Amino acid sequence: MAPTETPPPPTPTFLKLSYPAPRVLLVRMDRPKALNAMFTAAQWEMDAVWKWFDLEPRLSVAIITGTGRAFSAGADLKEWNNSMSSDADPKSRMGNAPAFKPLSRRLGRKPVVAAVNGLAMGGGCEFVVNCDLVVAADDAVFGLPEVKRGVAPIGGALPRLIRSVGLQRASEFALTGRNATAQEMCQWGIVNKVVPKDKVVEEAVRYAELIAKNSPDAIICTRAGLRQGWETASVERAVEWTLEKEFAELQRGENIVEGLKAFAEKREPQWKGSRL
């Protein structure tokens, strides 16, 4: 059943929302004829969905996938081309739009699992690089072909790739614009698991359920600690920040009390909604 405590975002047109398991949101990019390419309005739509998801106390984890043979081909290059008109304000060009970071640069509060059902190119690949877990179909293909089109992958993937796979692999991938298989991305550590195409969402839901059965507050705190360790240079500062901010918030909530009490009483905990 869909959550009811927080009003959902305006009914999206590019995205389809569903709830495949308790505390789990499934977000499906649904523009298959255009390989789920992201036009500007779709990016704003996605931005609104993630903000709503983070504030919905009855949701703990989300899954992002695509309809058809693509996860996402990234930015809509036809719209980008039109935005390059000589008489247009440079600030209005697609790559400069504030919405051009709905998932590839999202920090957020709650985890997102990518269920990569097919092509993940350009911005679609940048989405994947920034997701918390990644399940990929065995025939999925990944690439940052921007250099072949005269643009650059400016959605946040480049520094994140460096931290995940190292300078030389990131350079090979981004500077050549070549494609990579799901198996190769798994070897590099970008993909957690490769499964048959018809099982990709099912496996992503399985991961999401494993996460969602845990304390909503502890999920937020633990993810924040992981993200700080990834985003910042100092390991100790990341630990200190997590203790000072996120763990302090966790200790003020009801779920830590319930989790410890349930352990002592040898029963399953009954979690409250995530803190706001």
Q: Report, as residue numbers or ranges, the catalytic residues.
A: 75, 123, 126, 146
Q: With contact defined as beta carbons under 8 Å apart, do 208 and 264 qualify? A: no
| CB-based contacts of 171, cutoff 8 Å, min separation 6 | none
CA–CA dist 2, 208 (Å, integer):
16
CA–CA dist 107, 130 (Å, integer):
9
Q: With contact defined as beta carbons under 8 Å apart, do 68 and 36 qualify? A: yes
Give the residue carrying structure tokens 């690949």.
125
Helix then strand then coil, in percent of the chain rounded to 5, is 45, 15, 35
Q: With contact defined as beta carbons under 8 Å apart, do 23 and 61 qualify? A: yes
| CB-based contacts of 111, cutoff 8 Å, min separation 6 | 60, 61, 62, 132, 133, 211, 219, 223
Can you name the residues that pair with 27 across neighbouring β-strands?
A: 17, 64
